[in-house]
Structure 1
Amino acid sequence: MGKHIPFLISVCFIISFFPFSSEAQNDIYISGQVVYASKTPVANVNIIVHRTQDSLAVAFTQSNQQGKFAIQYQGQLPVFISASALGYERMFKKIDSADSASAIQFVLNRGIKVLEEVIVTYVPKIQVRGDTTSYKLSSFLAGNERNLEEALAKLPGFSINEQGQISVNGRAIQKLLLEGDDLMSTNYTALSKNMSPGSINQVQVLDKYLNDRMMKGIEKTDDIAVNLTFKKEFKNVFFGDILAEGGEGKYYNGVANGIFISKPVKAYLMGSANNIGRQSSFMSYSTFNPQSTLAIPYNPMLMSKN
């Protein structure tokens, strides 16, 4: 019984579309056979009778093991009869009279469909190449991370202590680099606590990191650093975030930061102002080549309100 279930379901589906008519109906008998080009019979081919005026289905059956089929129903001629099977072209024949309704033969042809080329590029969540382990940051985020620090905490092996120090597998990092350049020196928490993670493409852990690249392969070290690579749309443009908070009694807290990333020039600006007891500040970090870094932090009195 189980092998007939797909057939019964197909019959019920087709019947649901059958039209009802008050016109005079005649008993019509249609029979034939379905074969391959080699004349081998084809079983389980769907045979459907359609009205000529609107193509509605009025009868349905399937070919048997000998490829033969027979349909008897009440209706009118002419009609179309179709034969279809998975992987083969759907074929039609027109039945104009009772004489042409018997000994119908369908010869199935292989259906050929040219598919458009689809290129699938898969980037794994974690890649290891030599001393560099790269994490595709977006694969680990939920979307509610407020800053880079919260995003890094989602990566396997990463941890951040109360002071904002970043560690990987229990080892504190020495540098937080932007596209290979050291803007922040040891004050990377200004960046990690304020920068939004949405612009970051990969987070790379650099094992055996040396600040002097010329000494790589000569001097041995166990230091590690983290390098941030940026998405293409965030390069060569100035972007940033603004945090504005307010409360009762005219209390406020505001933080703004901006970043510019290009191959020769990288810059990070961060300013804050508030009247909730925190120190207001402005910091500017920039680099014009991999070996030259300028850091100028200062706290203007005009932005301090106690």
Structure 2
Amino acid sequence: MSITVLGLGEMGSALAAAFVAGGHRTTVWNRTPGKAPAGAREAPTVAEAVADGGLIVVSVKGNAVAQSLLASAGDLRGRSVLNLTDGTSFEAREVAEWAVSAGAEYLHGQIMTIAPGIGHPDSVIFYGGSAEVFDRYRSTLDLLGGRGTHISTDAGAPTLYGMAVHDTMWGALNGFLHAAALLTDAGIPVGDFMANAAPSMSALLGHLPMLASEVDSERYAIDFGALQHHLPSVDDLLRESAARGINVDFPAYTQRLVTTAIENGHAHDSYSRLIDHFRKAG
């Protein structure tokens, strides 16, 4: 199978190397020449690189660049395009619509690992767009990560999946680092905390499917653990942080969300009721 990779940054180079290692004839193009991984053929132009591949893989900085490169390739009819470029879901859909109008089949992917993770059996890649392209090249795509999944015919869905993972990650990391500041200020090693509180910390992730169900069903009323019972603990955290001179922005933000929801009549609802706040801009 012949594959073309456009863009040889850290990720593009890792992708091309994985295809070569998998035994595929791999042609590459990069704006700055001389970066082709061992075993790959470097084409002097985008058009020549694209003409050499059945599957065209794009990994560059921004979807506007991705679309511009594909537009410079000439005839895309009969080609399968896999765009692994980061951006927004709106941009992914725009490139998809353009590519299809140019006669290509389009698949968009969101890579959930750094470059050294490409090819690892536990590396996750979300795919959206043409299910036919995904099925046709499934064994080839498995070379990039063993946990590749086609989630939707919507080319923008993989980007949203990736953003949702990162959004959750950053919230959890910020909360953990605020907690670490609190612990270390009291002279408690964070490693000791993790060793002793591991079951409680693990239970947090186990709680997410229940929150997801409540959001999807829009049924928030619960008998135990309602918002009114969160507020005293949030208040305590805020007072403890202030007394220790630790930044209070993070707990204060949570306190505002919970307090506002209770004032709006949701004292007996689950924490998932706070989705109402995040659904509104401003």
TM-score, normalization by structure 2:
0.20
Which has the higher relative contact order, 1 or 2, with Cα contacts under 8 A spaced 6 or more apart?
A: 2
TM-score, normalization by structure 1:
0.19
Higher helix share: 2
Higher strand share: 1
Q: Determine which structure has more spread, i.e. the larger CA radius of gyration.
A: 1
